[in-house]
């Protein structure tokens, strides 16, 4: 069994989708958590934690360190058999995740008001108003149609893929971080989130993971 070491902040955040994927793959991993107080990273912190691009998450595989969440998620999905059954299904997973990332970017300007010295609920809500009222219905309707077109209730094929896990987790994360409801009007997406959170390995991880604000 490969030796994995996942490095991220002491929170769920972007690193949690990789924790989900490793747990679903039934792979043990060292869960290295950097205190949130270390942000922004100094050169000393980057050197201490061995961050090749100066950011997290990173995954060490047998001592070799790799960065960037999506390539790591894709790699793990492929080697553990949940990245799509065909090359076209694999392409669809990539397409879905990149499309979700485009939607996710709409929320970025508001993140500075979620945590830290600039935390401000009023400013946060003002910054997300357009995203919530305009961008969200358009984007999530598109994802919902894809789910509804598949009798199995997944984005791709007849079983869970890394794209399902990545998107379902990040929808939940947005709801928590911004105190909003996103999937309640989209039954396909809501059921997908439930499937992901109850999947073998992921369910057990959720039950035992450290309790953090977000």
CATH number, domain containing residue 167: 1.20.1050.10
138-143: average pLDDT: 98
pLDDT band at 1 (very low <50, low <70, confident <90, very high): confident
The neighbour count for residue 209, using CB atoms within 10 Å, is 14
Q: Residue 48 maps to which CATH number?
A: 3.40.30.10
**What is the pLDDT at residue 106?**
97
pTM for the whole structure: 0.97
**Domain match, 108 and 192 both:** yes
Average pLDDT, the chain: 97
Question: Is pLDDT above 80 for 135?
Answer: yes
Please indicate, yes or no, whether residues 68 and 123 belong to a single structural domain of this protein: no
Q: Say yes or no: 96 and 72 in one domain.
A: no
Per the structure, the complete domain to which residue 49 belongs is given by: 4-80+201-208
Residue 101 sits in the same domain as residue 181: yes
The number of beta carbons lying within 10 Å of the beta carbon of residue 66 is 14
Asked, for residue 29, whether it belongs to a domain, the answer is: yes
Let me know whether 65 and 127 are in one domain: no
- Burial of residue 160, with CB atoms counted within 10 A of its CB: 0-12 exposed, 13-18 middle, 19 or more buried: buried
Judge whether 213 and 164 are in contact, CB under 8 Å: no
| 71 and 148 assigned to the same domain | no
Q: Say whether both 74 and 150 belong to one domain.
A: no
For residue 213, pLDDT over 90 is answered with no
> Per the structure block, which two tokens stand in for 198?
């109850």
Asked whether the predicted pLDDT for residue 115 surpasses 90, the reply is no
Closest CA to 59 of 24, 17, 101, 90: 17
Count of domains for the chain: 2
SS3 state at 140 = helix
On whether both 95 and 189 belong to a single domain, the answer is yes
Would you call 18 helix, strand, or coil by DSSP?
helix
Instruction: Report, as an integer, the average pLDDT of 145-170.
Output: 98
Give the rounded percent of residues in the chain with a pLDDT score beyond 90.
95
Give the HSE-up count for residue 50: Cα atoms under 13 Å, Cβ half-sphere: 12
Residue 59 pairs in a beta bridge with 6, 66
Backbone angles phi, psi at 59, to 5 degrees: -130, 125
For 144-172, what is the mean pLDDT? 98
At residue 43 the predicted structure's pLDDT band, cuts being 50, 70 and 90, is very high
Domain contains 32: yes
């Amino acid at each position: 069994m490969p030796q994995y070491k996942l490095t991220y902040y002491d929170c769920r955040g972007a690193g949690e989708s990789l924790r989900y994927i490793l747990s679903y793959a039934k792979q043990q991993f060292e869960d290295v958590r950097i205190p949130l107080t270390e942000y922004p990273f100094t050169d000393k912190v980057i050197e201490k934690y061995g961050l090749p691009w100066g950011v997290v998450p990173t995954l060490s595989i047998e001592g070799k360190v790799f960065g960037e969440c999506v390539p790591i998620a894709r790699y793990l999905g492929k080697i553990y058999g949940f990245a799509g059954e065909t090359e076209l299904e694999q392409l669809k997973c990539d397409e879905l995740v990149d499309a979700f990332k485009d939607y996710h970017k709409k929320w970025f300007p508001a993140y500075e008001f979620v945590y830290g010295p600039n935390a401000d609920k009023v400013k946060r809500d003002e910054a997300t108003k357009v995203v919530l009222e305009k961008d969200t219905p358009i984007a999530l309707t598109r994802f919902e149609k894809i789910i509804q077109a598949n009798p199995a209730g997944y984005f791709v094929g007849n079983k869970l893929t890394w794209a399902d896990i990545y998107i379902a987790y990040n929808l939940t994360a947005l709801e928590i971080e911004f105190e909003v409801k996103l999937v309640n009007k989209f039954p396909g997406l809501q059921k997908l989130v439930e499937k992901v959170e109850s999947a073998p390995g992921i369910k057990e991880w959720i039950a035992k993971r450290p309790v953090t604000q977000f």
